[in-house]
Chain A
Amino acid sequence: MEHREFEPLLKAVGAARHVRAPLAIEGGGTRRFYGREIIGEPLSLADCRGVVEYHPTELVVTVRSGTGVDELEQELNANGQMLGFEPPVCTPGSTIGGSIALGFSGSARPYRGNVQDFVLGIRLLTGDGRIMRFGGQVIKNVAGFDIARLMVGSLGCLGIILEVSLKVIPRPQYECTLCLEIRDADQAVSRFNELTGQPYPVTAASWLDGMARIRLSGSEAGVDAAAKAIGGTKIEDDPFWHQINSQKHRFFSDGGKIKKVSQKPSVPVFAPDRPVLVDWGGALRWYREETGEAELKETVAERGGWLELFRNADRAHEVFALPNPAAMRIQHRLKDVFDPDRILNPGRMYSGL
């Protein structure tokens, strides 16, 4: 049996299914703050770990879901490679499976792609106790429906990710950050838009407290040429990117409510006079306690986009925006297909799902 090593997890799901007891799927348990409140018996994937296959020249790594993100990154780094989506909000112990299930993408999201852009294949344990594989280990593959990418951001509500194959990218030879003093958030974003429309090797663009930062990555010659054309103060190894990626930056650190708003980059930044961190070249705006839920809801209703209550919200209620009713109906049907007894992370994404 090719799935034998997953026997304990299979048994746990079978037992829970038998009594219809909810399971709280857990990788490293480092991101329990996210989503709606957690109910159910924890089911740990800590023992489901290790790199299964890694051929750097194929640009593909296959890894068990309980593998630490830091461990995986180290192995890739030793081969001059990295994860293109720069898994955010990781602390020691955060797992790759958790990162896929949460679907967070780092600062390079508009330039290199989001999590699903790097997912090639998956081994999945569904709520009705079946182990299946979708996608594969090659970059181009259109056989069958894209169940692997469907799992990204599904918060473990559709299945337990056992193993994942990811496309990796070469670590850039050279990287630097250009700091430009731009007082106004909207002016910064329009500068980002202007730069991204030109063939510069931009891999991140962020704004905070009157300072725009633009990260360039590539060969030294290419980056230098672009840096000269763009201007600003050039810094190498700017710790800022790691700080916002891990949310260790002081912006996030007061323990208050953190809200995430995603909008089309050209949509004016709401309440720029209050603390706001702009990332993704303008498409992502982080807000703190000072900016209330109600007013953010109003602005996304008016100007488009989505609001997510990221940290320290009232988790008994919805924390994510709801899809429209037709789309919601499909979400429920999918849940019934993958998890007919509704035992996998019930309610973590939406109440009743």
Chain B
Amino acid sequence: METGKLEKIFLKALPRRCLVSDRVALRTYECDGLSAYRQPPGLVVLPENTEQVMAALKICRENAIPVVGRGGGTGLSGGALPHPDGIVLSLSKMNRMLEIDPENRIARVQPGVTNLSISKAVEHLGLYYAPDPSSQIACTIGGNIAENAGGVHCLKYGLTVHNVIALKVATIEGDLLEIGDESMTAPGFNLLSLMVGSEGMMGIVVEATVKLLPVPECARVVMGIFESVQDAGDSVAAVIASGIIPAGIEMMDNPAIRAAEAFVNAGYPVDARAILLCELDGIREEVDQQIQAVDRLFRENRATDIRIARDDHERQLFWSGRKAAFPAVGRLSPDYYCIDGTIPRQALGKVLTEIERLSDEYGLRVANVFHAGDGNLHPLILYDAREPGQLEKTIELGSRILNLCIGVGGTITGEHGVGVEKIGEMCTQFTDDERELFHAVRKCLDPQSLLNPGKAIPTLARCAEHGAMHVHEGQLPFPDIERF
């Protein structure tokens, strides 16, 4: 439906200040954090409260208008890419903290509240909200729920799904569903887990209750320097085998180290093949003990040097390079493309060797940062979109890396979601039966498939096309390995 028509319909139920129809202004919403895909929406609706969300959904239901929910627009898989005939439902105006309950250590918030602002609002109570995606300054809790966002502390503190305890969800059918409960139990099937990570295809979250955790008494970081990626990987395995769960354990390979060091001067050794940053938190006595253990385990696994941050200032400095890794890599090249596969950690050596080979084959540089504790690998492919054909080549390389992840028993997305980006790879990771079931489950909440249509779960026809392409290229790696 064209913008003028949409505007006319929505003006019947919503004030003009809640609508964006200007052609230039609509451009603001044409993409999310994955800017390679762009499409201006027909109309943007900015509801200010739950009633307006429900009113907007009612119009969409009655007129069969596609709805794309949007939080901060920082997503990296094109999950919030608009539908040309539909609306973007931006929840950014619903950004109030509704209730902070220190006694039960929960906060009830509106979906447009940013991730970081929850922690800021409860800082004075010694509490915080654990999941910390790198976009936490801008990304919203509603978007985090849609994508089941992660961060660097997932191994110890979990993803969004582990930290959200209740939701109020407006459905396209006009209901306001209360899912989960503050009492830690809820009757019936576990709809809460189903809703988290459903990429805006099952309902619009209008309220979320999240868990708050006490800020650890102490946090310290160790940097291990290695001559091979394998040694670094072995060190991570040794730490975990010893019974220590680090708050975060991050690996960077040489290209990533060099880029970060040139950008922020974190004191990284630019000749190292890999570094590990291992953060331990908890009670001071425990952290001190664990720091010593990690130091020993890194050395036993051939670390060439180890640096323990002496104070909080140095801890921040060590982290600054890792935190700036993406923009740092961005300085090396006009564009970069971030991949989000997860692999069993034991396959790391094999996967990185194969990525190196593919990088040579495609003539595109790749830098790797790795959430080493939970196996979530972020290869960053460097390319130049101005050169004809490079973007296509980059996307193809990305797809090969994802298929590699599936081949070693991993998954195509650890924390960014499928969106439009990885929809082709969904055909490889899941069977026809499984994808068909996903569609059927989605229809339990959205019978007309109006919520974020075309995202996350490919149709059978699309996979038939995708499959043909892959057979043609003959590049499906490890076809004989089970992919559970």
Taking Cβ atoms with an 8 Å cutoff, the residues of A that contact B are 2, 55-60, 62, 80, 103, 109-110, 113-114, 116-117, 121, 123, 126, 130, 132-134, 136-147, 149-154, 157-158, 165, 169-173, 190, 193, 196-201, 218-219, 221-226, 262-267, 280, 283-284, 304-306, 308, 320-324, 326-328, 330-331, 333-334, 337-338, 349-350
Contacts and interface: CB of A to CB of B under 8 A. Distances in A.
Contacts of B38: none
Given A193-B103, A337-B441, A170 B243 contact: yes
B181 interface: yes
A305 B288 CA distance: 41
Contacts of A223: 286
B155 A139 contact: yes
Contacts of A169: 245
A199 B178 contact: no
B374 to A, nearest CB: 4
Contacts of B284: 225
Contacts of B214: 196-200
Interface stretch (B15-23, B146-154, B382-390, B466-474): B146-154
Given A109-B184, A136-B342, A323-B188, 4 more contacts: A57-B346, A114-B184, A221-B289, A222-B287
Given A226-B283, A283-B184, A326-B175, A140 B441 contact: no
Nearest to A172: B243
Contacts of B190: 103, 116, 149-154
Interface in B402-438: 409-418, 422, 426, 429-431, 433-434, 437-438
B413 A141 contact: yes
Given A197-B214, A222-B283, A262-B183, A173 B243 contact: yes
20 contacts: A55-B344, A56-B241, A58-B344, A137-B409, A138-B409, A142-B414, A147-B438, A152-B190, A193-B105, A197-B103, A199-B216, A219-B290, A224-B285, A225-B285, A265-B103, A333-B443, A337-B437, A337-B443, A337-B444, A349-B188
B289 to A, nearest CB: 5
A146 B194 contact: yes
Given A141-B414, A323-B187, A149 B193 contact: yes
A175 B216 CA distance: 19
Interface in B162-195: 162, 171, 173, 175-179, 181-191, 193-194
A58 B241 CA distance: 9
A173 B282 CA distance: 15
B126 interface: yes
A269 to B, nearest CB: 13
A145 B198 contact: yes
Contact of A266 (B103, B178, B285, B375): B103
A185 B158 CA distance: 31
Contacts of B417: 142
Contacts of B187: 306, 320-323
B392 interface: no
Contact of B183 (A117, A136, A264): A264
B351 interface: no
Interface of B: 101-105, 125-127, 147-148, 150, 154-155, 158-159, 161-162, 171, 173, 175-179, 181-191, 193-194, 196-198, 214-217, 237-238, 240-241, 243-245, 282-290, 342-346, 371, 373-376, 409-418, 422, 426, 429-431, 433-434, 437-438, 440-445, 456-457, 482, 484
Contact of A140 (B105, B159, B445): B159
B438 A144 contact: yes
A224 B286 CA distance: 10
A201 B214 CA distance: 11
Contacts of A197: 102-103, 105, 125-127, 214
A306 B147 contact: no
A137 B481 CA distance: 14
A41 B103 CA distance: 48
Given A57-B240, A137-B484, A306 B434 contact: no
Given A144-B426, A333-B444, A218 B434 contact: no
B193 A328 contact: no
Q: Looking at B126, B188, B217, which has the most chain A CB atoms within 10 Å of its CB?
A: B188
Contact of A133 (B244, B422, B434): B434
Given A57-B346, A136-B409, A221-B288, A142 B185 contact: no
A263 B177 CA distance: 19
